[in-house]
Chain A
Amino acid sequence: MPYCPDCGVEIGNAPACPLCGARNPRSTAAAEPDCPDTNEGDHPSRRQGFLGEVTEAESLTVFEKRKIAWEVLSVAFSIAIVALSLINILVAGKLSWSLYPVSAFFFVWVVATAFLVMGETSRLRYVLAILDMPIFLLALGLFTGDMSWAWRLAVPIAIFAEIVIAGVALSVRNAKRKGLNILAFILVGAALICLGVETFIDLFAFGKISLGWSAITAIALIPIAGFLIYLHYRVAKTTNLHRLFKL
């Protein structure tokens, strides 16, 4: 069999070597290489788990992992609170500016406690999560020496936003078929929050409600949400189009 003198590979009856283009001397066909540019140019605590052995740390339950996270967070926040308070007292002789970050740490810690430590069915979890933000805002009002903005503006907006978010979350959770409806729920929630924010700002600033930007936002979002709801519950259900909207 013919071999390429350069590459040393057997090349059969090819007119040229497929690798370097050198002419095959034993081929009857003319060599027309189309490649002119051949440029030369065992840990004791380990035990069986998914994929074999796992460490003790990897085998912790979700609840145990969350509890560890909460504990780490608690210790870190405690250290930060103590340090901030001491520095504040050392510099100013009393607790003043440190109250803001300290109250923020408490706010985050309460939310973390509610969601990391308490069970999903615990009512206290949701009570804490709902009350945490208003109490934090009231505390800020207290520290600034003016409770009116907190009481009349911040707390109503916070409670209203929490109610809307809870409503959206429940709607998503209860939806039997999830698709475009989820996007619609979120758009409706966003529109409601905008309306609520402007309403409370108007009441606080002017004593009367005169909706402007939030109404425009809502007018833009609500029809889109309605169209998505229509697509999801009517079109995608009555025809086979639900495959189009599979999430």
Chain B
Amino acid sequence: MAVDKSQRFIHTKQVDESGAWYSLDNAGVIMPAVTDEISSGLFRVEVSLDEPVDLVLLNHALAETANRFPYFNVNLKRGFFWYYLDQCHTSPQAFPDEGSPSQHWNINRRGTRMFRVRSLDNRIAVEFSHALTDGTGGMSFLKTLLVRYFALKGIEPGATIGEGEYSDIFPIETQPDKEEYEDGYQKHFPGKLPIPEPNPRAWHMRAPRLPSGQYRVITARLDLQAVLGEAKKRNVTITELLGAVYLDALQSLWLSEPKSPKDHFISVEIPVNLRQFFKTRTNRNFSLFILLRENMQLGARGFDELVKRAHYQMRLENDPRSIARQIARNAGGTRNLLVRVVPLFIKDVAARILFAKLGETMLSGFISNLGTLHLPPGIVPHLGSVAFVPAPSKTTLTNASVISWKDDLIVTFGSLTHSRELERLFFRRLRSLGLAVSVRCRDDEE
């Protein structure tokens, strides 16, 4: 029987005498080369409970959850041609959630897990490396962990998990399906397609950096229905509206530069969850992005104009055929024999150059909307606030993430710079739209 050669790229798991090991997915493959202690590539989702976290129970739940997600309980290893993920043979333990989030956790250090769970007082947070998974995969892990934690406390979820609305919450007694760790990009590799048009270099905010190891998080809570109402009034989505607000803030920063910057494009990256277009159950990375861009040489634009343009740019690019061009370019590269035979140390150099050319230099910042957090009704009353913190970046310095929870829309800015001007401009614009904004910065209060 003929063996489908493409399967070797799709199925990431292999087993030998030492146990299981996994290939990195197509998006994760570049991350080890471009991450360090500061630009750690760790995104974070945190929840606060209605009472202090029981660390013994949390560690128990974490061990069981990690056992259910063996493809997450891994650390990074260097091969001769590629990085790979080696199965950890121990259970993770929760770390104290002290100091800045997403800092001092370098996946390139030997034996470092690709994620960590942190807890302090009422708070539980998971921080995942983007080399391993995206927000959807990380959220699936956190939900499963929470359900298991509350189960150990005797609180039942009050709904059937593992199916329907809660299909991403896995009963810990079930076995992982191989689709959960498949490479979605390779599964939906469309063959050769025209490569996407090159993006111009984008302007980046320049401001003094915070001391090494500090990553400031500012979280704002807005009324979800009010924001939705504002978006509907303008016939756009919440993501489009917030993307336009971000562009508006960047535009103000660009115009406030004393000398006209050399880079005259401001650009906001909007990550897109590809699961909406391509069928897969993968918990590994499966997202790409759309860039909202404005050429500042054409002059400043009014906010209403920015919203309209953000809407149409999103509509043009947010379609499977446009996205498939990115998949074809990225996944095709790792299938190419000439690329595969290049030793890893050379690939590392090439990855840094590629990341500089096709990565963060073409965006001034990103705003990632994870959507609504759905949890079973039994545990919802036991949760307070929620936040989704973007991964830190030394290039863009400040980025934003969005998540909806109950009646709130929570916008979180993570920043490596002293300057809070971007955040200030962003939330002032939302205020000018008549939206009530409640802002907190944990660093200021601790």
- Residues of A in contact with B (beta carbons under 8 Å apart): 1, 4, 7-21, 33-41, 50-52, 179-180, 182-183, 239-240, 242-247
Contacts and interface: CB of A to CB of B under 8 A. Distances in A.
B79 A243 contact: yes
Given A38-B419, A39-B256, 11 more contacts: A7-B427, A10-B438, A18-B423, A20-B420, A21-B420, A33-B444, A34-B443, A35-B418, A35-B419, A247-B81, A247-B82
A14 B441 contact: yes
Given A51-B321, A243-B21, A18 B439 contact: yes
A154 B321 CA distance: 50
Contacts of B190: 50-51
B429 to A, nearest CB: 11
A34 B321 contact: no
Contacts of B81: 179, 245-247
A58 to B, nearest CB: 9
Contact of A14 (B18, B258, B445): B445
Contacts of B79: 243-246
Contacts of B80: 180, 244-245
A34 B441 CA distance: 11
B207 interface: yes
Contacts of A243: 14, 16, 21, 77, 79, 84, 86
Contacts of A245: 79-81
A12 B418 contact: no
B207 A39 contact: yes
A9 to B, nearest CB: 4
A37 B220 contact: no
B441 A37 contact: no
Interface residues of B, number: 45
14 contacts: A11-B438, A13-B445, A34-B443, A35-B418, A38-B419, A38-B420, A50-B324, A182-B341, A243-B16, A243-B84, A244-B79, A244-B80, A245-B81, A246-B23
Contacts of A52: 320-321
A10 B437 contact: yes
B98 to A, nearest CB: 18
Interface of B: 14, 16-18, 21, 23, 77, 79-82, 84, 86, 190-191, 207-208, 218, 220, 256-258, 320-321, 324, 340-341, 418-421, 423-424, 427-428, 431, 436-441, 443-445
Contact of A10 (B191, B439, B445): B439
Given A9-B220, A39-B421, A18 B320 contact: no
A166 B338 CA distance: 18
A37 B84 CA distance: 43
A50 B277 CA distance: 12
A51 B82 contact: no
A50 B189 CA distance: 10
Contact of A37 (B207, B258, B427, B428): B207
A51 B418 contact: no
B332 to A, nearest CB: 14
A34 B17 contact: no
A240 B18 contact: yes
